[in-house]
Copies of this chain bind each other. A is one copy, B any other.
Amino acid sequence: MAGSSFGTIFRVTTWGESHGPALGAVVDGCPSGLPLSSEDFIAMMSRRRPGSSIMSTARSEADLVEILSGTFEGMTTGTPIMLLIKNTDHHSADYTEIADKYRPGHADFGFDVKYGIRDYRGGGRSSGRETAARCAAGVIAEKVLESAGISFVTEVESIGGIPYEESEDFIRHLRSEGDSCGSVVLCTVKGVPAGIGDPVFEKLDANLAKAVVSIGAVKSVDIGLGHQAAESRGSMFNDAFVSTGNGITTGTNNAGGILGGISTGNDIVIRAYFKPTPSISLHQETVRSDGTACGIDIRGRHDPVIGKRAAAVVESMAACTILDSMLINMSARLSSFRSFYGNK
């Protein structure tokens, strides 16, 4: 089915495989009047790019984002923005050995069962490279949000259970062993006004959860204190409301800025839990597509930890989600409708 679109008003549709000529995103529903050029994408794309840290592979694609539509004289026009990223550094030869073996931890088997055909070169559509298109879309979302004073702080919190800043030796060790490990990304969104999100199925946190878990290697997502909430008591967990210079919000923020699916005006706090990179150099057991058992040795360049590069993806997905919710929210009240269209 058509599963490559995300969002209602601000809708991102990604396309492309890791080893085709290009991949990208169509960003439809972006408000008109936003200054936008290829340069805007450079910072985000280099945060996500391989080779940008000790954690990541040496694969070094420039990941320049070309804007093929949707802008005129440097401004968005409200029409779909086509963002194209060329694949310049792929080596199909690396993947022949895995054409009929199912790599543990990957979607290979699922694709074969579902579709009966699979682009085995580097994961094809399920490659982490698809997230480059999400980051390109996220740049646009963040630019719109920035105009309303909203900003993001996203960082790797821990690597294999070790605080990020203490984990460098551990990563070198993993790499030398040919192994990988999981990580936690913490994304804090500042400046989201109270009142964003919808009460039932379209809760802001529900959509953030979907957004974050739709990133390939994520196995869990927390809002605020997240899974620790299950061990807490109401008398300690409840955040008291207080009045501030900017109006009402909560004093503490155990809820992570969202109550009942609607933002409280406090920081929105999201944690994404990434599993270990499934591609490891160590020998593994698996089966071939005909069901016969075999060993598998995955070659190629793979990050021992996905967190550092994935931080850009988590942030991008959060930005797209929050922007969509804010655009939707503009029509929540009759008084807004009347004031927009003239009170007659």
Q: For the complex formed, measure the closest distance between the CB of A184 and the CB atoms of chain B, giving whole angstroms.
A: 5
In contact, A206 and B200 (Cβ under 8 angstroms): no
| CB <8 Å contact, B183 and A79 | no
What CA separation (Å) do A334 and B77 show in the bound complex? 10
A21 CA / B270 CA spacing, docked (Å) = 38
A226–B233 touching, CB < 8 Å: no
Answer whether residue A268 sits at the interface, using C-beta atoms and an 8 A cutoff. Answer: no
A323–B37 Cα distance when bound, in Å, is 34
Besides A181-B233, A229-B274, 19 other A-B contacts (C-beta < 8 A): A1-B28, A2-B11, A4-B28, A77-B118, A78-B332, A104-B241, A105-B239, A130-B200, A181-B231, A201-B210, A201-B214, A206-B213, A213-B221, A219-B222, A222-B227, A227-B273, A237-B275, A237-B276, A241-B286
Residues on B with beta carbons closer than 8 Å to the beta carbon of A277? 234
Tell whether, in the assembled complex, residue B213 and residue A219 are in contact, meaning their CB atoms are under 8 Å apart: no
Cα of A180 to Cα of B200 in the assembled complex, Å: 23
A206 with B198: in contact, given A33-B115, A240-B285, A259-B107 (CB under 8 Å)?
no
Q: How far, in whole Å, are A144 and B338 apart by their CA atoms in the complex?
A: 9
Q: Which of A39-47, A48-56, A57-65, A119-127 contacts B (4 or more CB under 8 A)?
A: A119-127
A266 nearest CB across to chain B (Å): 11
* A136 shortest CB reach to chain B, Å: 14
Q: Does A199 lie within 8 Å of B125, measured CB to CB?
A: yes
Partner of A225 from B6, B20, B219, B331 at Cβ < 8 Å: B219
Interface size class of A (residues with CB under 8 A): 35 or more
Contact with B along A232-257 (1 / 0, CB 8 A): 11110111111100011010000110
CB neighbours (8 Å) of A224 from chain B are 219
Query: Inside 8 A of A259's CB, which chain B residues have their CB?
Result: 105-107, 109-110
With both chains docked as a complex, state the minimum distance between the C-beta of A50 and any C-beta of chain B, in angstroms: 18
- Measured in the bound complex, the distance between the Cα atoms of B241 and A94 in whole Å is 22
Q: Give chain B nearest CB distance to A177 CB in angstroms.
A: 8
Closest residue of B by beta carbon distance from A293: B243
**With contact pairs A104-B238, A209-B221, A210-B210 given, residues A337 and B1 touching in the complex (Cβ less than 8 Å):** no
The proximity string for A residues 202-228 relative to B, scoring 1 for CB distances below 8 Å and 0 otherwise, is 110111111111101001111111110
Which of B7, B82, B247 makes the CB contact (< 8 A) with A24?
B82
Please, could you name 16 A-B residue pairs with CB atoms under 8 Å apart, sorted by A? A15-B70, A15-B81, A31-B331, A104-B239, A114-B194, A114-B195, A147-B338, A148-B344, A160-B231, A216-B261, A220-B227, A229-B274, A234-B280, A238-B284, A242-B293, A243-B291
- Asked if A32 and B126 sit within 8 Å, CB to CB, the answer is no
CB proximity of A140 to chain B, nearest CB, Å = 11
A326 within 8 A of B: yes
Given A4-B201, A282-B235, check contact A241 B275 (CB 8 Å). Answer: no
Q: Please tell me if the beta carbons of B15 and A80 are within 8 angstroms of each other in the complex.
A: yes
In the complex, the answer to whether B262 meets A114 with C-beta atoms within 8 Å is yes
A93 on interface, CB distance cutoff 8 Å: no
